[in-house]
């Protein structure tokens, strides 16, 4: 009688199945599970032969569908299934492959760039977006996304600020959780869910000068209090994989750091999934010059805690020898393999290894998905200025000129890392504006020269100018030394403004740009990021008032490049008291430290206007003091005092007044989006307890230090409505 091996029996526990499978594997088969292979046109036969002989942990799907992107290959389900078939049917143990791809802000339906999604301050909607991304990606055979990117970024020169949630640890943590839950759901074996990957662990956004891949020097206290929280949130939400970063941090490459990977991540945070290197970040340990050769790189990364190697081959070349020489233990091999196999079982891959092409055709870019993309794009856009209530525009009775370098673009709507978005499914701004208000909109010809644009503008009642960046000006290794608008745009906007007509500037961008000159001459500014497949329609929705803008800035907007880094949660200095200290205990101000520019940003973190007005009143705390194990409840009434419906995001900031180490002047610890009709009020409450009020000290432990705390509520990070409470010793 033929009996199934235990590991193939789905009624057994995953631990039991892993244990059984591990006991059957040769060392070569184990090491193959630690490898993420890259199949290219020139090595297909070799890759297939490898999988047949040993199996493989994962295959990276690195090609792009985006027409004209120059990437080498589109994704085809049949092709993915063929590799899976070889692994499942032709390799000795039949271990299925994880197919990993960069599904960063949507698969086929593209959502706003993650920085834009963070601007929604709406984790529920962001979770929905990632749920859709998972559904679409899984239908196409992808079962692992290299997202979310959780790197805190305080430097908008860095192109990858586009891929994360901006400068704030609390907001980024909420977004991290939303993304992980969206991708993975409650049960990874749900065929519509995929494995998420928290990246790039850790400190990658701290790259000096905003130069990607660069060194970062981050004190342990800052690392733990600022850079770690989103990763902790992802781990707490059950993220199954983490990617180790490229960079050298404090003199130690992150992909070779036992402290960061094994002690902090797997030990302290209790991460039970597996760590994958970033692309070649293991072999690049040689370039960092912390090891002599690739054998040394394999030894260092693997013993540090990198379980799977992306693309490069140091593990499959050297791990066997390293085990035989005693430099790497078999226990560590088994630990890494067990982590990877556990995820494969949890994903249900042994039972359902193949993708279903019929499902893909029904799912991809479905009308329901487009609807969510349009909603999240609307919520992501930030109204920065609206002088004289110029916006919203009327759809009739006005001549509205539509012009600017972004008007006829498609890829710039999508943003970076959109391997599977399709340009022909992405409306241009010109198309969307015309569709929304055919009687009013006057399009400048797409090849209009600047003098022709001016002439066209002269004939209009209102001018809408679409400025900003191409999709390729941000993203990986696409950094800029100046965050001014691309060359020539400011001059053109100023020339148009001199016509004296009402001027709306809509900016598409992957980062905070310097809007100082635009803000001086435009009447209204809408910051639209790279808003995704439905972004153009969403812009038209907002400009014509189908909905009021409600986005809030997830990063401070500097007045000039030279102000970088500037973030709202800076530490108190020895010379800040004269400004903030004496006058009022609740006052909060940036100190002017430059002779040529004020100390404050142009637009602060958390800022964003609506078409209506809100007022906050009746701030109350439910008790004046708490013990460290108690929670204080802060409440405030928010009222829509304008004449239109709108959404406000009420934000709660906290300061630990005296602490054993210098602490930020304030930190975001809660936010709530509230939709209100004109005249309507609502009470918003925030709970503050040990989680919100404690911090990591120099001893690497969390402390909640008794004493006075200040709390402010408001509509951006300069909130001034505040009170104090005490945390008293137990």
Catalytic site positions: 278
Q: In sequence order, which ranges of 122-271 are alpha helices (DSSP H)?
A: 123-139, 169-184, 220-222, 229-236, 258
- Shortest gap between Cβ of 205 and ligand NOJ (angstroms)? 12
Cα separation, 446 vs 689, in Å, equals 56
- Shortest gap between Cβ of 62 and ligand NOJ (angstroms)? 6
Cα separation, 534 vs 424, in Å, equals 12
Instruction: Please identify which residue in 7, 111, 130, 146 interacts with ligand NOJ, judged by CB under 6 A.
Output: 146
Instruction: Please identify, using beta-carbon distances, which residue of 61 and 467 lies nearer to ligand NOJ.
Output: 61
Taking each helix axis from N to C terminus, what angle separates 77-85 and 44-54, rounded to the nearest 10 degrees? 40
- Whether 498 and 454 have beta carbons less than 8 Å apart is answered as no
309 lies in the binding site for ligand NOJ (CB under 6 A): no
Instruction: Please identify, using beta-carbon distances, which residue of 146 and 603 lies nearer to ligand NOJ.
Output: 146
- Shortest gap between Cβ of 475 and ligand NOJ (angstroms)? 10
- Whether 118 and 149 have beta carbons less than 8 Å apart is answered as no
Instruction: Please identify, using beta-carbon distances, which residue of 329 and 477 lies nearer to ligand NOJ.
Output: 477
Backbone angles phi, psi at 454, to 5 degrees: -60, -45
Point out which residues pair with 695 in neighbouring strands: 703
- Shortest gap between Cβ of 111 and ligand NOJ (angstroms)? 17
- Whether 566 and 556 have beta carbons less than 8 Å apart is answered as yes
Cα separation, 120 vs 328, in Å, equals 47
Backbone angles phi, psi at 467, to 5 degrees: -115, 180
Instruction: Please identify, using beta-carbon distances, which residue of 196 and 504 lies nearer to ligand NOJ.
Output: 196
Structural tokens at position 69 = 């992107």
Instruction: Please identify, using beta-carbon distances, which residue of 196 and 515 lies nearer to ligand NOJ.
Output: 196
Cα separation, 705 vs 726, in Å, equals 10
Find the residue with minimal CB distance to ligand NOJ: 146
Backbone angles phi, psi at 152, to 5 degrees: -65, 135
Cα separation, 117 vs 193, in Å, equals 20
Coil/strand/helix, residue 473: helix
Contacts with ligand NOJ, 698-717, as mask; x by CB under 6 A: --------------------
Instruction: Please identify, using beta-carbon distances, which residue of 99 and 279 lies nearer to ligand NOJ.
Output: 279
- Whether 411 and 157 have beta carbons less than 8 Å apart is answered as no
Contacts with ligand NOJ, 435-474, as mask; x by CB under 6 A: ----------------------------------------
Cα separation, 704 vs 729, in Å, equals 10
- Shortest gap between Cβ of 95 and ligand NOJ (angstroms)? 22
- Shortest gap between Cβ of 245 and ligand NOJ (angstroms)? 8
Site for ligand NOJ in 603-662 (CB under 6 A): none
Q: How many residues bind ligand NOJ (CB under 6 A)?
A: 7
Contacts with ligand NOJ, 240-279, as mask; x by CB under 6 A: --------------------------------------xx
Structural tokens at position 429 = 């701004």
Sheet of strand 98-101, all strands in order from the earlier edge strand to the far edge:
144-145, 98-101, 58-60, 35-38, 309-310
Residues whose CB is less than 8 angstroms from the CB of residue 57 and which lie 6 or more positions away in sequence, other chains included: 32, 33, 34, 35, 36, 97, 98, 308, 340
Query: Which pairing describes strands 632-640 and 625-626: parallel, antiparallel, or unpaired?
Result: unpaired
- Shortest gap between Cβ of 722 and ligand NOJ (angstroms)? 40
- Shortest gap between Cβ of 287 and ligand NOJ (angstroms)? 15
- Residue 68: is it exposed, middle or buried by C-beta count within 10 angstroms (0-12/13-18/19+)? exposed
Instruction: Please identify, using beta-carbon distances, which residue of 71 and 701 lies nearer to ligand NOJ.
Output: 71
- Shortest gap between Cβ of 146 and ligand NOJ (angstroms)? 3
- Shortest gap between Cβ of 217 and ligand NOJ (angstroms)? 20
Q: What is the number of other CB atoms lying within 10 angstroms of the CB of residue 334? A: 16
Coil/strand/helix, residue 411: helix
Tell me the C-alpha to C-alpha distance, in Å, between residue 129 and each of 175, 323, 349, 419, 696.
11, 44, 24, 17, 33
Instruction: Please identify, using beta-carbon distances, which residue of 201 and 725 lies nearer to ligand NOJ.
Output: 201
Instruction: Please identify which residue in 21, 39, 75, 102 interacts with ligand NOJ, judged by CB under 6 A.
Output: 102
Contacts with ligand NOJ, 662-681, as mask; x by CB under 6 A: --------------------
- Shortest gap between Cβ of 239 and ligand NOJ (angstroms)? 14
Point out which residues pair with 504 in neighbouring strands: 464, 524
Tell me the C-alpha to C-alpha distance, in Å, between residue 562 and each of 565, 566, 598.
8, 10, 11
Tell me the C-alpha to C-alpha distance, in Å, between residue 480 and each of 213, 396, 600.
14, 41, 22
476 lies in the binding site for ligand NOJ (CB under 6 A): yes
- In 3D, which of 113, 49, 123 has the Cα closest to residue 473? 113
Cα separation, 165 vs 652, in Å, equals 18
Instruction: Please identify, using beta-carbon distances, which residue of 310 and 528 lies nearer to ligand NOJ.
Output: 310
**CA dihedral sign of residues 205, 210, 216, 220:** negative
Point out which residues pair with 308 in neighbouring strands: 276
Q: What is the number of other CB atoms lying within 10 angstroms of the CB of residue 452? A: 13
Cα separation, 433 vs 401, in Å, equals 10
Site for ligand NOJ in 62-81 (CB under 6 A): 62
Cα separation, 202 vs 268, in Å, equals 15
158 lies in the binding site for ligand NOJ (CB under 6 A): no
99 membership: H or E segment, kind and range: strand 98-101
- Shortest gap between Cβ of 468 and ligand NOJ (angstroms)? 23
Contacts with ligand NOJ, 558-577, as mask; x by CB under 6 A: --------------------
Q: What is the number of other CB atoms lying within 10 angstroms of the CB of residue 250? A: 17
Q: Where are the beta strands (DSSP E) in 456-498?
A: 462-468
Instruction: Please identify, using beta-carbon distances, which residue of 409 and 479 lies nearer to ligand NOJ.
Output: 479
Cα separation, 17 vs 5, in Å, equals 9
- Shortest gap between Cβ of 246 and ligand NOJ (angstroms)? 6
Q: Which residue has the tokens 């701290």?
A: 206
Instruction: Please identify which residue in 59, 105, 135, 199 interacts with ligand NOJ, judged by CB under 6 A.
Output: 199
Can you give the binding site for ligand NOJ, defined by CB under 6 A?
Answer: 62, 102, 146, 199, 278-279, 476
């Amino acid at each position: 009688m033929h009996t199934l091996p235990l590991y193939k029996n789905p009624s057994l526990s995953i631990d039991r199945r892993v244990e059984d499978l591990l006991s059957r594997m040769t060392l070569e088969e184990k090491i193959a599970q630690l490898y993420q292979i890259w199949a290219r046109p020139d090595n297909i036969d070799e890759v297939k032969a490898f999988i047949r002989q040993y199996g493989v942990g994962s295959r990276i799907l690195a090609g792009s569908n985006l027409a004209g992107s120059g990437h080498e290959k589109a994704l085809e389900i049949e092709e993915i299934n063929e590799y899976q078939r070889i692994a499942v049917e032709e390799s000795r143990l039949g271990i299925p492959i994880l197919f990993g791809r960069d599904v960063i802000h949507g698969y086929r339906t593209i959502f706003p760039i993650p920085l834009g999604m963070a601007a929604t301050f709406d984790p529920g909607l962001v979770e929905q977006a990632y749920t859709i991304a998972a559904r679409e990606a899984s239908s196409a055979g992808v079962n692992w996304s290299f997202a979310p990117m959780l790197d805190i970024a305080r430097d908008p020169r860095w192109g990858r600020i586009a891929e994360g949630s901006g400068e704030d640890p609390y907001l980024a943590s909420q977004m991290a959780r939303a993304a992980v839950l969206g991708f993975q759901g409650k049960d990874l074996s749900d065929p519509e869910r995929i494995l998420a990957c928290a990246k790039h662990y850790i400190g990658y956004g701290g790259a000096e000068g905003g130069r990607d891949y660069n060194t970062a020097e981050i004190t342990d206290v800052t690392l733990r209090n600022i850079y770690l929280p989103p990763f902790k949130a992802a781990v707490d939400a059950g993220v199954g994989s983490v990617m180790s970063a490229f960079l050298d941090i404090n003199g130690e490459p992150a992909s070779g750091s036992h402290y960061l990977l094994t002690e902090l991540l797997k030990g302290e945070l209790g991460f039970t999934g597996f760590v994958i290197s970033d692309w070649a970040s293991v072999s690049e340990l040689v370039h960092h010059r912390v090891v002599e050769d690739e054998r040394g790189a394999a030894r260092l990364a693997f013993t540090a805690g990198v379980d799977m190697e992306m693309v490069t081959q140091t593990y499959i070349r050297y791990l066997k020898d390293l085990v035989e020489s005693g430099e790497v233990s078999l226990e560590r091999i088994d630990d890494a393999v067990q982590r990877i196999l556990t995820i494969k079982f949890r994903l249900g891959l042994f039972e359902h290894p193949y993708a279903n092409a019929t499902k893909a055709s029904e799912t991809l870019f479905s009308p329901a998905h487009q609807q969510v993309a349009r909603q999240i794009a609307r919520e992501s856009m930030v109204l920065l200025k609206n002088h004289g209530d110029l916006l919203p525009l009327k759809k009739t009775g006005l001549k509205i000129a539509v012009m600017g370098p972004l008007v006829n673009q498609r890829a710039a709507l999508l943003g970076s890392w959109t391997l599977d978005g399709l340009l022909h499914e992405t409306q241009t701004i010109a198309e969307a504006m015309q569709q929304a208000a055919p009687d009013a909109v006057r399009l400048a010809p797409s090849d209009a020269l600047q003098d022709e644009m001016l002439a066209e503008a002269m004939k209009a009642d209102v001018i809408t100018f679409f400025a900003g960046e191409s999709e390729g000006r941000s993203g990986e290794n696409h950094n800029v030394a100046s965050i001014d608008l691309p060359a020539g745009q400011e001059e053109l906007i100023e020339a148009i403004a001199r016509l004296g007509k009402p001027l709306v500037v809509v900016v598409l961008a992957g980062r905070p740009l310097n809007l100082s000159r635009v803000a001086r001459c435009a009447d209204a500014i809408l910051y639209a990021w790279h808003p995704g497949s439905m972004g153009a329609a969403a812009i038209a929705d907002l400009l014509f008032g189908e909905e009021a803008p409600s986005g809030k800035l997830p990063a401070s907007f500097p007045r000039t490049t030279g102000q970088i880094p500037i973030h709202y949660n800076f530490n108190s200095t020895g010379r800040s008291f004269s400004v903030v200290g004496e006058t009022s205990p609740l006052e909060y101000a940036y100190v002017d430290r430059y002779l040529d520019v004020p100390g404050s940003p142009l637009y602060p973190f958390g800022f964003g206007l609506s078409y209506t007005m809100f007022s906050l009143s009746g701030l109350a705390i439910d008790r004046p003091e708490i013990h460290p194990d108690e929670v204080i409840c802060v409440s405030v009434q928010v009222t829509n005092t304008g004449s239109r419906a709108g959404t406000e995001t009420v934000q709660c900031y906290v300061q630990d007044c005296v602490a054993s180490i210098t602490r930020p002047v304030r930190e975001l610890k809660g936010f709530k989006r509230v939709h209100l009709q004109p005249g309507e009020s609502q009470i918003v409450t925030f709970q503050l307890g040990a989680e919100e009020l404690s911090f990591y000290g120099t001893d690497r432990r969390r402390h909640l230090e008794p004493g006075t705390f200040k709390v402010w509520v408001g509509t951006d990070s300069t909130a001034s409505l505040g009170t104090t409470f005490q945390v008293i010793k137990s």
